[in-house]
Structure 1
Amino acid sequence: MPTKPCAPAFRLPLRQSGPSDRKTAAMNRIPFPPMKYPLVAILRGLKPEETEGVVGTLIEAGFTAIEIPLNSPDPFRSIETAVTMAPDGCLIGAGTVLTTAQVEQLADVGGRLMVSPNVEPAVIRLAAEKGMVTMPGVFTPTEALAAAAAGATGLKFFPASVLGPSGIAAIRTVLPTDVEVAAVGGVSEENFADYAKIGIRSFGLGSSLYKPGMSAADVGKRAVATIKAYDAVYGAR
């Protein structure tokens, strides 16, 4: 179990939202916690028996946000294990969240991070009501603005490799300034510098960091290299 402290880190009826709804959602937006490294480790395919070793080595390397997608084997068991073992201040949760029922399950195991591949206002609102940091996936200005209006903490621009830094920068100009923007999909230490040029500091890292079946030791090596590359671009934390 890691001892290294982390950095400081109901189904609503579908209806059309008006200005007052959007204002309320913004007021209720759960802020993204301060993090030494605003990097989310995406552990798609992680098995429960691998969780302690893999999550532990990531935390030791400096990662304080962990996402376990719900299309992984027995994901809620893995999330509960990660929540239990992680130091206070770590942000542990689920990815590929599609329904309000899954949000309820995530809350039951102590998850505080809700990442979805799409924009479903009811899912975003419920997760926010549960006190979770919410990061729905977006690709267009329409999706990004809808997610922000629903009260999302941040936006996961995916796939970032298709949009590119210039595409994300263009969409970002119309977004509320209190919404975190993260690049996900095709991001690795190889292209941090490209995103730094447009002011993007937050990333979700998947296959560049973890692939199913990787040992904790191998994940640790990749994690250390990623942190080193981030420091080289953004300055030592």
Structure 2
Amino acid sequence: MISIEEALGACPLVAILRGLEPERAGAIGQALFDCGIRVIEVPLNSPQPYESIESLARGLGDRAVIGAGTVLTDEDVRAVAAAGGRLVVSPNTDTRVIDETKRCGLVSMPGFFTPTEAFQALTAGADYLKLFPGDAIQPKIVGALRAVLPPDRGIVVTGGVGLENIADFFAAGARAVAVGSSIFKPGKPVDRIGADAAALIAAWREGMRS
């Protein structure tokens, strides 16, 4: 089974599928996997999110890391674990959610916006730090945060990441980026989802070469 570090090493893009419907989960997950995505997040404010997580985990769970976003309570964490999810992503820093995530043996990626929140999350046991909202900052802020945060706890920039700025965030020191509307919207054809994901991966690779 692939680890989160192996998954992000293969492709440091997290696909956020907000609004995913369970009946489309298998086809969309496979399209994302085929273009290179190895981490997929289903926000819990999607329709029947646990069914979608279960479908994705059943089809891709050994080759990709499937998880949930917008996880706000310890009850949510347990439900994600029961559905086969391995990654818990939140928009905020809540030590109760982090504690339960680690107790369940899952990967913790809480949201933060300030250095104080970042260190609170790390003290509670967070594995990665979700910098949110990304569209409210300049990429150079990632570099400033990296200078004071432990080097083994990567920043995942979330919100507002697209073709025009993805390379800048990686150049500033982001471990990964999480991308939602640039890849997925409810009702979007599967082939377009795959094509847009592939374009973002190409932009990341081009930035790494330059």
- Same topology, TM > 0.5: yes
Cα drift, residue 182 of structure 1:
1.0
Q: Does residue 200 of structure 1 match 2:174?
A: yes
More helix by share: 2
2:156 to 177, 182, 204: 182
Cα contact 2:22–2:48 (8 A) shared by 1: yes
Where do 5+ consecutive residues of structure 2 fail to align? none
Q: Does residue 219 of structure 1 match 2:201?
A: no
Q: Deviations over 1:23-79 (max 9, x none)?
A: xxxxxxxxx422310110000000011101111100000001000000000000000
SS in 2 for 1:33: helix
Cα drift, residue 103 of structure 1:
0.5
Cα drift, residue 164 of structure 1:
1.5
Instruction: Name the aligned partner's letter for residue 36 of structure 2.
Output: G
Task: Tell me what 1:111 maps to.
Answer: 85
Change over 3 Å in CA distance of 1:203–1:100 after alignment to 2: same
1:164 to 138, 152, 156: 138
Distance 2:81 2:175 in 1: 28
Instruction: Name the aligned partner's letter for residue 33 of structure 1.
Output: E
Task: Tell me what 2:46 maps to.
Answer: 72
**How big is the alpha-carbon RMSD for the aligned residues of Structure 1 and Structure 2?**
1.4
Q: TM-score, normalised by structure 2?
A: 0.94
Change over 3 Å in CA distance of 1:197–1:224 after alignment to 2: closer
Cα contact 1:139–1:163 (8 A) shared by 2: no
Task: Tell me what 1:47 maps to.
Answer: 21
Comparing 53-62 with 184-193, greater Cα deviation is found at 184-193
Q: TM-score, normalised by structure 1?
A: 0.83
Cα drift, residue 87 of structure 1:
5.1
Within 5 A, what are the aligned runs for 1:125-164?
Answer: 125-164=99-138
Distance 1:62 1:38 in 2: 10
Cα contact 1:53–1:216 (8 A) shared by 2: yes
Where do 5+ consecutive residues of structure 1 fail to align? 1-5, 10-31
Q: Does residue 57 of structure 1 match 2:31?
A: yes
Change over 3 Å in CA distance of 1:87–1:99 after alignment to 2: closer
Task: Tell me what 1:15 maps to.
Answer: none
Task: Give 1 or 2 for the bigger CA radius of gyration.
Answer: 1
SS in 1 for 2:57: helix
2:5 to 33, 39, 42: 33
Cα drift, residue 234 of structure 1:
1.6
Distance 2:99 2:85 in 1: 15
